[in-house]
Amino acid sequence: MCLAVPAKITRLEKPNLGLVDYAGTEVRTNFSLLPQARVGDWVIVHAGFAISLMDKKEARKTLRLFREMAKAA
Amino acid sequence: MKELRNQKAVAGLLRDISGLARALPSPVRVMEVCGTHTMSLFKHGLTPLLAGAGVEMISGPGCPVCITPNGVHEAALALLTQREGLTLATFGDMTRVPTSKGALQAGVPARNSRLRIVYSPGEALEEARRSPERETVFFGAGFETTIPAIAVTVQEAEEAGLSNFSVLRALWLIPPALRALLQSGNIAIAGFLYPGHVSAIIGLRPYAFIAEEYGIPGAVAGFEPGDILLAVRSVLAQLAEGKPRVALEYSRAVRPDGNPVARKLMDEVFEPYDATWRGLGTIPGSGLKFRKKYLAFDAGRKFRLRIPESGGDLPGCRCGEVLRAAIRPDGCRLFASKCTPESPLGPCMVSYEGACLIHYKYGRGKKGDA
């Protein structure tokens, strides 16, 4: 039930509705829980609602860590 | 994010974990609270790999479909089969939970009533808007991840003056359940993997008591194999240092203070009460009910439903014990014999977050194949 997916915002409309691109499909999404979201942001979507903003800097940090581990191994 | 599945990185993490585990009293037992973590652990074959590295993963109560007592499922069935002109909208898993009176999907709806599977509470609200002459009830089970979405839906219904929309609620809070598990003292847990998306809402602070009062470490984990192993490594490192805390290993999606907007909305619509979980009993402050202002949206009240807190289980089903980690799925005599995904005898074999279904699908499959 807590399955949620990362998706990119492609359009925002009022009030608090918009579209996200999830693996090539545009999905209608409610942004009431994330009023600060902007087009182009990546968000976590659960049950039709964006619940969290993806932090690009933190994502890059994690990726870097894994690339280094892959090299070191 | 394919890097988070990189085999060399995964192997490196497993080596770290194995090294840390060797210095700790075995077995190092770590509970993954969330059913979606259980699924990822099994799907990617991490559970046996971790066992080989000296870490025993055990599944927690993180499946809302499963922990909802059958009394609630039976109340939903009664509504569908007895109330005319009604749409009962719910998540797919919820329609297949077996009860002593049958599953929702097998119920014969009352005249002009129907069952509808939705993926969002918003879809149920749309139906209520489109069909003002009908009643629409959203049968919503969920944790903190899902509850804010339901709160928004209820507020939208209130603002639109929709009197034909209501919610049959099965809303559960994770931290009080973890406290109850620890207080029971029945299982020795060395550390916790905290649920990633529940934490995206509640943040880190609600778990602090686990480190402070119980001295047990934990880490919020994402759902890729790399995410999970990073979190396990963090838990073991905390054990080695003797410094338990609440670590955040899913920082791309979770803020330390969660989502305050979502929490505020949740708090506007709902208030905590002592709720009864399948297998865990009544836990103080572990469920949410409507605040006075929104009582008109409570389907239980609106349709005068009788919702018993226990009973209605099929004989022999030990889902409750699986949920409190008292037994593993294959510790149940029915597992993979009489109880299978095709003919489940309890919700743990129905929900894709249910430990029994996951063990059946990705784990040992049939009994004795171990």
pLDDT tens profile B78-87: 999 999 999 9
* B82 and B164 co-located in one domain: yes
> How many structural domains is chain B composed of?
2
Rg (CA), chain B: 21
Rounded CA gap, B79 and B104, in Å? Answer: 10
Query: Which CATH number do you get for residue B85?
Result: 3.40.50.11740
- Nearest Cα of chain B lies from the Cα of A49 at a distance, in angstroms, of 6
**What pLDDT sits at residue A71?**
87
Question: Is there a cis peptide before residue A15, judged by omega within 30 degrees of 0?
Answer: yes
Confidence of residue B2 (pLDDT cuts 50, 70, 90): confident
- Are the CB atoms for B55 and B263 separated by under 8 Å? no
Largest Cα span, chain B: 67
pLDDT tens profile B63-75? 999 999 999 999 9
Cα(B8)–Cα(A63) distance, rounded to whole angstroms?
14
Here the ipTM equals 0.95
Q: How far is CA B143 from its chain centroid?
A: 6
Q: Is residue B202 one of the residues assigned to a domain?
A: no
Q: Report the CATH number that the domain containing residue A61 is assigned in CATH.
A: 2.30.30.140
Same domain, B75 and B152: yes
Contacts of A61 in chain B (CB under 8 A): 251
| Residues of chain A found within 8 Å of residue B121, distances taken between Cβ atoms | 47-48
Q: How far is CA B29 from CA B19, B60, B155, B239, B245, in A?
A: 15, 12, 42, 11, 17
Instruction: Determine the distance from the C-alpha atom of residue B88 to the mean position of all C-alpha atoms in its chain, rounded to a whole number.
Output: 21
Of B1, B34, B120, which is closest to A2 when you measure between CB atoms? Answer: B34
Chain A residues whose CB is inside 8 A of the B195 CB are 2
Flag if A67 and B255 touch (Cβ within 8 Å): no
Whether B206 is covered by a domain: the verdict is no
Distance between CA atoms of B78 and B153, rounded to whole angstroms?
Answer: 24
Which residues in chain B have Cβ-Cβ distances shorter than 8 Å to A2?
Answer: 34-36, 62, 142-143, 145-146, 195-198, 353
What confidence category does residue B367 fall into, taking pLDDT thresholds of 50, 70 and 90? very low
| Count of structural domains within chain A | 1
Return d(Cα A49, Cα A29) in angstroms, integer. Answer: 5
Give the contacts of B156 (CB within 8 A, at least 6 positions apart): B125
Among B residues 48-87, those touching chain A with beta carbons less than 8 Å apart: 62-65
User: Domain span at residue A31?
Assistant: 5-72
| Tokens, residue B217 | 């470490």
User: Considering only residues 230 to 269 of chain B, which have any Cβ-Cβ distance to chain A shorter than 8 Å?
Assistant: 230, 251-255, 259, 261-262, 265
Contact B197 A32 (CB under 8 A): no
How far apart CA B29 and CA B57 sit, in angstroms, is 6
- Structural domain range at position B352: 319-362
Considering the domain architecture, whether residues B324 and B273 belong to the same structural domain is answered as no
Q: Specify the residue for token string 């995904």.
A: B341
Contact B327, B321 (CB under 8 A): yes
Whether B243 is in a domain gets the answer: no
Q: In chain B, whose CA is at the least distance from the CA of A16?
A: B152
Question: CB under 8 Å to B329, separation ≥6 — which residues?
Answer: B322, B335, B348, B355, B356, B359, B360, B363
Has residue B292 been placed in a domain? yes
Q: Is the minimum CB–CB distance between B14 and chain A shorter than 8 Å?
A: no
* B197 CB within 8 Å of a chain A CB: yes
The per-residue pLDDT for range B78-116, each reduced to its tens digit, is: 999 999 999 999 999 999 999 999 999 999 999 999 999
SS3 content of chain B, % helix, strand, coil (to 5): 45, 20, 35
Kindly determine whether residue B11 and residue A73, on different chains, have CB atoms separated by under 8 Å.
yes
Residue type, B285: G
Using an 8 Å CB-CB cutoff, list chain B residues near A72. Answer: 12
Tell me the two tokens of residue B216. Answer: 């047990």
Chain segment B147-162, per-residue pLDDT in tens: 999 999 999 999 999 9
What is the per-residue DSSP string for B330-352? GGSTTBTTTB-SSS-SSGGGTST
Contact A51, B261 (CB under 8 A): no
- Whether the CA torsion B256, B262, B264, B270 is positive or negative: it is negative
Q: Distance, in angstroms, between A25 CA and closest chain B CA?
A: 16
Q: What is the pLDDT of residues B46-62, one digit of tens each?
A: 999 999 999 999 999 99
The residue with tokens 């029994």 is B356
Same domain, B128 and B91: yes
Size of interface A-B (CB pairs under 8 A): 136
Q: Note whether A3 and B143 are within 8 A (CB).
A: no
